Amino acid sequence: MTHPAYYDAVVRLLGEIQRTQMEAIDRAADLIFSSLAIDGILHVFGSGHSELVAEEAFHRAGGLVPVNPMTEPFLSPLTAPKKSGQLERVSGIAAILLDYHAPRSGEVLIIISNAGINAVPVELALEAKRRALTVIAITSLRHAKTVASRHASGKRLFEAADLVIDNGGEAGDGALAFPGLTAKVGPTSLITGAFIVNSIVCSVVERFVLKGLVPPVYLSANLPGGDEHNRQLEAKYKGRIKLLC
């Protein structure tokens, strides 16, 4: 049985996003469609547990093919958090990631970070904009506005991005408070992040269809013809999506 208070919190947040963030989601879809329609790539980044939201956009049945994840295990919980958590605060990593992935001018980078205060996501946004990318942030404004940046610029991710989509989460991500506990439990950023990412994807695909274009969408590899369908689409982007090289 689901916990009723957590269920209510998640449903409330999804409704809040639907009411307050759909204009930003539509704008994100416009920017991404304009890039993909001229053979661009959508780049995504997340560190910590936000990497899971970035992964949701990549190589996903029913998702877009031209998606390049700029994620690294050493910035995720797959590396001991005592190391990965500190590495997320180190300057200089963002430029290395951008040099390696080589996004092109005019392409879009989505950066997911719930707090948006650590050096890597903030620096990635600033450096990406210097390289003429459009930066979209998925973050919690409730959290970010209560804490100071850890980047030398003093900026938080929402202050460095071109477009901000607010996941609506509480400071600290937990949705539920229990008597006697300092920390809240029931994080929401993964659920809301996946909802936002897939809302963007659906809106991008809709734009392809409305323009009479065939959207580059993955078919499940567990359906007949799925492997062949996907290989044919992936061939167009060979060399540009590092995890497919």
Q: Which residues pair with 64 in a beta bridge?
A: 217
Output the average pLDDT for the chain: 96
What are 193-229's pLDDT values in tens digits?
A: 999 999 999 999 999 999 999 999 999 999 999 999 9
Query: What would the two tokens of residue 185 be?
Result: 């439990």
Q: What is the pLDDT of residues 131-168, one digit of tens each?
A: 999 999 999 999 999 999 999 999 999 999 999 999 99
What is this structure's pTM?
A: 0.96
Per-residue pLDDT of 92-116, as tens digits, reads 999 999 999 999 999 999 999 999 9
Could you tell me the end-to-end alpha-carbon distance of the chain, in angstroms, rounded to an integer? Answer: 43
Rounded CA-CA distance 245/240 in Å is 8
pLDDT of the residue at 1: 67
Listed in sequence order, the residues at least 6 apart from 223 whose beta carbon sits closer than 8 Å to its beta carbon are: none
C-alpha closest to that of 204 among 60, 25, 69, 23: 25
Check whether 245 has a pLDDT greater than 90. Answer: no
Q: 213 to each of 25, 42, 182, 203, 229, how far by Cα in Å?
A: 21, 18, 52, 14, 17
Q: Which helix (H) or strand (E) holds 163?
A: strand 163-166
